[in-house]
Chain A
Amino acid sequence: MNFLQALAYFLREAAVGLARSLRVSLLAILTIAVSLFLSGALLLVTENLARTVRDWRAAARFVVYVARDASDSARNGLRSAIEHGSWTGAIEEVTPEKARERFTRAFPSLAELVAGRGEDALPYSFEAEMKSVPPGESARFDAWVAELRARPEVVMVDADQDWISQIETLLALVRGLGLALAAILLGASVFTIASVVRLTSFLYREEIAVMRLVGATEFYIRGPFYCEGILQGLLGGMLAVGALGAVHLLLAQKVASSLVAGALAARFLSPVELAGLVAFGGVAGWTGAVVSLSRESLAAPES
């Protein structure tokens, strides 16, 4: 029997096996589908969140607010200090008039808050684009920001880096928890598939004995069971991908304008990631079959 003939035989026998123990097979498929759906959803959320954080980081700025009573020379000295910072990109000086104009444009309904207060309404500031801070240099960056804050002419320094770092820490935590959860769920799936394959091999034990008797090799005895595990995993994976797609579509329609939905699920998983999820299901199914058959259920009577 060549490989294709063997594969056709394995698939046919695996399909018969699935049909023969339909309920438990469905249970295994559903278990792996739920595991892969949750893993895929976590992947989707973390990917989108990471992309959003990357975007935020690319557009990150820091704003240094200057005290109203600061002299011109102090302001110029401050500008020079900001310009010499390793992380500083282009700098824009925002005068109180410009700040008031921006505020009025951004919040027209609140314009009266700043209308009658002249230059006192909003402070003078420097807005600087930020170059990306490598992870190993964040301490240096923090020290530099602290130096700026310590200057007498500075009222406040508002650096996006602070909260972006916090979000990145949160993202790493979510990723870690997600990975742990996915590992537990997939472990449960492998266990379920192993149990189902074991049950099927138990149902077939007499046939297996006959196959051994007439001279079938382990390759032909185990092949259909491995195929059955792989089929269960692939079907579970496809189900999970279908469910992910449906949920994503629903989210996209219902909460398209939501900032949170946009940040968490703006982009769907790539075809490679989706194929990876399905393939992962297949691998989990195969692992379940291997785990199951490595025990005594299919072992030839050791002589």
Chain B
Amino acid sequence: MIRFFAVSKRFPTGQSALDNLDLEILRGEFCFITGASGAGKTTLLKLIFREDVPTSGQILVNGRNVAQIPRSKIPFLRRTIGVVFQDFRLIERKTIFENVAFLPRILGLDHGRQKRVAFEALRRVGLSHRMASFPSQLSGGEKQRVAIARALINEPEILIADEPTGNLDQDLSQEIVRLFLDIHLRGTTVLFATHDRALIESVGHRVITLAHGRLADDRPSRREAYRVPRPLDDATSGSADPQATTASRSPSDSTTANWTEEEPE
């Protein structure tokens, strides 16, 4: 699903963020990305959703080199990738519904369908009753759940989280991680950047450790059952159990893909 081939990223200042990184993340995997501050975690994630481009090397997402896609196509790439940040990045002047339903709205869904889609996304994170609230009326954990709902609204194939628990206490962090695990169970590939070792150990999934922009360690998952391929997954990635496959996306989930590229540029 995601492959890094000899990827390096050097900033204009000369500082190196990633150095000749080779990496493969399979469809349906849950991967922690960890490492000290400045190890290259955020840069790695940014390269996947084309917030940044590598200095050299190739990054394939679903077989497409994201560094080469034209600028006008970046929005369409991003609609297939949900992103969650430590600082939530919610729009303060908009309601929770408006924050979550932004993408369906610009894609032209009627208000009723926007509401249904937003309600479903918020229901998944347990906040369907707060649709009319504003971000300032929510706790940190709730804000992060709204951000997750927004990231899930278009049923992304990939969910990227950059230190999503960084601003939360331990209980809330566990709650958020459980949410990510639930999302992963539905077949979404999850990349979760954190430096919280205890959190990582409590889950037991694959851990990619970066140090100075290089791959320092790549520990496979201890919970193979969580590697859930999607129904159309290719044969090479599938070692999942049948039960897990049943738990993946329902056929109706794929309908959202139909309205992904309807919008004029």
Contact = CB atoms under 8 A, between A and B. Distances in A.
B71 A300 contact: yes
Nearest to A5: B108
A207 B91 contact: yes
A211 B74 CA distance: 12
A303 B51 contact: yes
Interface in A1-59: 1-3, 5-6, 9, 16
Given A213-B78, A216-B75, A1 B89 contact: no
Contact of B50 (A3, A211, A219, A303): A303
A206 interface: yes
B150 interface: yes
Contacts of A5: 108
A2 B83 CA distance: 27
A79 B154 CA distance: 94
Contacts of B77: 215
Interface in B228-265: 262-265
Most chain B beta-carbon neighbours within 10 Å: one of A2, A9, A207:
A207
Interface residues of B, number: 32
Q: Is the interface of B mostly helix, strand, loop or mixed?
A: loop
B238 to A, nearest CB: 29
Interface in B6-61: 49-53
A219 B150 CA distance: 21
A104 B264 CA distance: 80
Contacts of A219: 263-265
A216 B52 contact: no
B52 A1 contact: no
Contacts of A6: 264
A301 interface: yes
B108 A218 contact: no
B235 to A, nearest CB: 30
A12 to B, nearest CB: 11
Nearest to B89: A210
B108 A215 contact: no
Given A2-B108, A214-B153, A303-B51, 17 more contacts: A1-B105, A1-B108, A5-B108, A16-B93, A210-B89, A210-B90, A210-B102, A214-B78, A215-B78, A215-B79, A215-B103, A216-B103, A216-B106, A217-B264, A217-B265, A220-B106, A220-B263
